[in-house]
Homo-oligomer: A and B are copies of this chain.
Amino acid sequence: MSTTGRGLHGRVLDTLGPEITAGDHPPGSVLRTDELAQRFDVSRSVMREVVRVLESMHLVESRRRVGVTVLPAHEWNVYDPQVIRWRLAGADRPRQLRSLTVLRSAIEPVAAGLAARNATAEQCAELTECALGMVAHSRGHQLEGYLFHDMAFHRVVLAASGNEMFARLGDVVAEVLAGRTHHDVMFEDPDPAAVTLHVQLAEAVRARDAARAERLTREITEGALQELDILAP
């Protein structure tokens, strides 16, 4: 579930990356490659590769005669799935979850509208199947089963939009949904209204009703915003 392969490289990255995104090393901090290599008990080569990857995520900047400088958060590649995962696992998880939910509220309605135009017959079938799965698991504390179909549902909508930028957010949305179920208060069964909206959305897409699909999705995401006490625009 978590992440990178299983080499030394990956292990070091999975330690140092979260440390940085968690603010453990504040912006402006200077790390030295040699020291890090010693600390993690790896060779300089491995450490350099890790630093290069962190640099490509704009988490750090490496300069001669200075060292590896930690960059301020507004420089980070916050769309990098790895960075998102690290941040969701860290302390500012709530803030992160809010940002992503607002992002969802902007993207998903438009994506649903496009999906109503572009979805293949197969995708329509998958959508109704997912919606039915959600209904089937909506009562009796079958949270995991519900979550599974919910994630799949939104992933299909984003993919069916035909826009690669939207499609690529499938993982992010899944991550948000999973986070809501697992960490936040969600002991009770899901809101029946939300379940109904998903069923209707599947119908709207199948019926090629773009406007209705967009409106229904807007209702869904507004529900998600309200759960986090974010006032609806």
Q: Which residues of A contact B (CB under 8 A)?
A: 9, 45, 48-49, 52-53, 56-57, 73-74, 77-82, 99-100, 102-103, 105-107, 109-111, 113-114, 163-168, 210-211, 214, 233
- Quick check: B52 and A103 within 8 Å, CB to CB? no
- Quick check: B168 and A78 within 8 Å, CB to CB? yes
- Quick check: A233 and B113 within 8 Å, CB to CB? yes
Can you list 15 A-B pairs, Cβ within 8 angstroms, ordered by A? A9-B52, A52-B53, A53-B53, A77-B79, A78-B164, A79-B79, A79-B165, A99-B164, A102-B163, A103-B107, A103-B163, A106-B109, A114-B233, A210-B233, A214-B233
Residue of B82, B165, B168 touching A100 (CB-CB under 8 A): B165
Residue of B49, B57, B164, B168 touching A48 (CB-CB under 8 A): B49
Q: A56-B82, A73-B164, A106-B109 are in contact. List 8 more A-B contacts (CB 8 A).
A: A52-B52, A56-B56, A78-B164, A78-B168, A99-B165, A103-B107, A106-B110, A106-B111
Residues of B within 8 A of A107 (CB): 103, 106-107
How many copies, total? 2
In the assembly, what is the distance between CA of A163 and CA of B79, in Å? 13
A120 to nearest B CB, angstroms? 15
The 5 closest A-B pairs by CB, nearest first: A79-B79, A106-B110, A113-B233, A53-B56, A49-B52
Q: Is the interface of A mostly helix, strand, loop or mixed?
A: helix
Residues of B within 8 A of A214 (CB): 233
- Quick check: A105 and B99 within 8 Å, CB to CB? no
Residues of B within 8 A of A110 (CB): 102, 105-106, 233
Residues of B within 8 A of A57 (CB): 56
In the assembly, what is the distance between CA of A78 and CA of B233, in Å? 28
